[in-house]
Amino acid sequence: MKRTVTSHLDLGLSAPAKLVFAVAAAQGSMFESQSMTISVDGSPVTPRELVDITGNRMHVLDAQGGRVVMDYFATVAGTAAAPPVDDFDLITYLRPSRYCESDTLAPTAGAEFGGLQGADLLAAVTQWVSNMLTYVPGSSLPTDGAVRTFLGRQGVCRDYAHLCIALLRAMNVPARLAAVFAPGLSPMEYHAVCEAYLPADGDRAAGWYVVDATRLAPRQSLLRVATGRDAADTAFLTNYGGNVSLDGLEVTAVVDDFATDDGSQLLQLR
């Protein structure tokens, strides 16, 4: 499998700001080629790259100008190793977080999914959230969490993922958010999915399995960008200092072997 991805951001700054980009494919991806260029008012600059233990890559820039343009390109050939399982993560991703209020939604989760576990639970949560929500671009605020999504019955990919995560955590299943490139997504953008941990059972290996109730792109070709508790950990752009206007955003993602995903398989981000 060969995936080719690009990202273009055009930003306007009102004052000097520290910019943190999380747009690059995660460390551990099987890179065939990769490049990132950033300019400030037309002059090239080099960001600092920071990598955490999960493979998240942040490119940090102290920008003094008024216009920042970022372009990222990567070709990833083959699939990465299965996501590692860490005992610390299994506790961290059970806890409620800013956008995934699993404690508030615990009664709902218990009423809807009581008695289910493992792959059956993941399938039930996926179907329930898919049926419950309507995908409506622009329908949610950046501050909306799983509870507001549940009450409003609509949202975009991050809202679907947050609700899945909260319900699974409420059922004592570690769950987290993964920001990804998603070949086949329309309209093309960065995409967000849930990953849920399942222990080994028979022929199934222990690991993190993808849950995507939007069903907008085949899970087989997703390419990891960032992983975290929720969208607070995985935003493609964060700024500190001056206000930033997003004047241009273009994301592309294509794959040479487009898969058909009927939702019945347990799949991992590779």
Residuewise pLDDT in 10s, the chain (270 residues): 999 999 999 999 999 999 999 999 999 999 999 999 999 999 999 999 999 988 999 999 999 889 999 999 999 998 888 888 999 999 999 999 999 999 999 999 999 999 999 999 999 999 999 999 999 998 889 899 999 999 999 999 999 999 999 999 999 999 999 999 999 999 899 999 999 999 999 999 999 999 999 999 999 999 999 999 999 999 999 999 989 999 999 999 999 998 899 888 999 998
Using the structure block, give the residue that is written with the tokens 């999380």: 22
**Torsions phi, psi for 126 (to 5 deg):** -60, -50
C-alpha dist (Å) from residue 166 to 160, 233, 251: 10, 15, 28
CA distance 59 to 252: 20
CA distance 86 to 66: 42
Tokens of 101: 């209020």
pTM, rounded to two decimals? 0.95
